[in-house]
Structure 1
């Protein structure tokens, strides 16, 4: 209860401070009351869904996601406005003190707040405010196909030109637009890749979230197969299950569901992909994550049936596994495919110029292709979304990777 009181007090203080900017910019009372009404509705909606609502526990349902998204939008707008106002108020205070001490003023009088600064503050705050709303309305389904060509000295000849489509972090429990998802499935099939590799987090919490989308995802097509692994959300660890048996059944249901969709689920195991006399090893580990995430992945077990000199592609959900374990392993894993970070669903990317997201402060490898010790990883930005029900700047990704034999000349 205390944390809610503190939160409401801080939210109210931010809102009251930001209201001063509105009062400086406009004299129409209806503007103030509209602002206060929206802020109050957003706050009450958030409190309801996270305390008394149907899914008030740890499960992050769709209504809770939207409650959080709208609250975040209001807080960001208020916070940026307040930063500007506080800077101006500090200047006003120092000016008043100076005039009282050295200017002969008998009283401490504050200069009026300057209207143009309030307008600038609200104008700047409106940019992330609008971006966050756009991200919830359209950005979350702004699917991008990112294509990479990767060259390797020891790629088997028959696999020169072999094409992989990688998707990750579906989070089907967050979907709310069937036409957009069907469009994305068609977009994946349009790539006509040899294989489709899914690198974990099919659901947010429960296997049942995927049931309405099973037939849609079953339409995925690849010439040489579809393969998958589990991510941290697939184990049901974020649900307060009534019994351990229910949790175990949920995981088994998800495994069955993935196979019904047509995925060959790799649980710390491997497969060979063959073309004529040539082959490459596809290795899939269960989730292994740093910082409190499940460590069910067992790289040694997964690689038991392959040879050290095989050309190897590893599927591992969390890129921290690659950083902490894979690149220093005795086996050389030519290419690792991961996801998990979502690129935080927020950032700025201008190819060749800027690539930034706050997630970089937690994950060194958070989006795109990286190389260490002659080994590569692609961190997919994710197909779906979780928490904030949108995306800003970091769009949902379909990775298409073409393997090429490096020329000797």
Structure 2
């Protein structure tokens, strides 16, 4: 048994609350269980109780055993001086305040229905993947849909935090923030952080000024990535290298060293040379990209924005000096979907939040038009009866698995709570 189960029992009064007595036999009447803040200090703040004939207002601390009070060194912490009731599953020692007055104890296991405990133990029993895997298919659809919406916006909140960090670093330049986010997205998992550093190493004002010549953008991106450091025979390589060092001199940019980009284990269409060329072409073709993207409210319009390919040289190359069959190498629909999920939706959410606007329904509608992602986590959910039909649902399920299932937060999860209620 875990302590958070006792938190759940106390918070929702899932016990015989009409016949409570302290370990010493005094009657307890609960007026208010208190506020569960999950912060440092006592578990429930500002509870109101009647113990014996005395009305109390203060805090409630919860442990599996009374002796956990000393295990956690609460006797040394002034924050626990105002505890008016110690709620435990097992009482194994008396607890005293600093003035030697004894803190009343409620032994909760004496008042909890055995079916509730059995249901909790069934929920938390070891499974092959997640605790509730066998019961998922029985979850009420209304509960699931409401919880998915909450999960989706929790995930958006988390994704928006780095956006606001970037905003501070770029002096509130949303266009520069978008450039950084897109660069990271174009790098995918392997090169994402490296591409982000490349974007941060180039002042966006220079990207704006040089966007009319795609070769200059490619020179800046490939040069910052270290891909122009060696000597190659191709005329295009030599031209880009000349442009890169010219631009460094022109704008007095200090050449920064970033980690080497990775080619290993990538399909050729995901080689960093190809992705950086596509990024350069995007900013060559689209002026004021942030203004366009921040107001895009349909998947079709976003697909049109990202209807780009590589420069002529890269149509028959994947690396310098190595010619390959000609291919336009346009961004695929699945790749653009990833951009929508990981860049455009979080950016629109953060921008609206910064302006105090509410666009929740618009974001959900937009992601309802995007195909569900495909990965092992979503396949597992599908095998247990929870299928994601679109990106809104797949993002919600990823948040569920990563932030709740993996961390055994069943008692903070609407699905776990629903299953416990069935006792």
Q: Fold match, TM over 0.5? A: no
Query: Which structure shows the higher strand fraction?
Result: 1
Q: Which has the larger radius of gyration?
A: 2
Question: What TM-score results when the alignment is normalised by the length of structure 2?
Answer: 0.25
The structure, 1 or 2, with the larger RCO (C-alpha pairs under 8 Å, 6+ apart) is 1
Question: What TM-score results when the alignment is normalised by the length of structure 1?
Answer: 0.25
Query: Which structure shows the higher helix fraction?
Result: 2
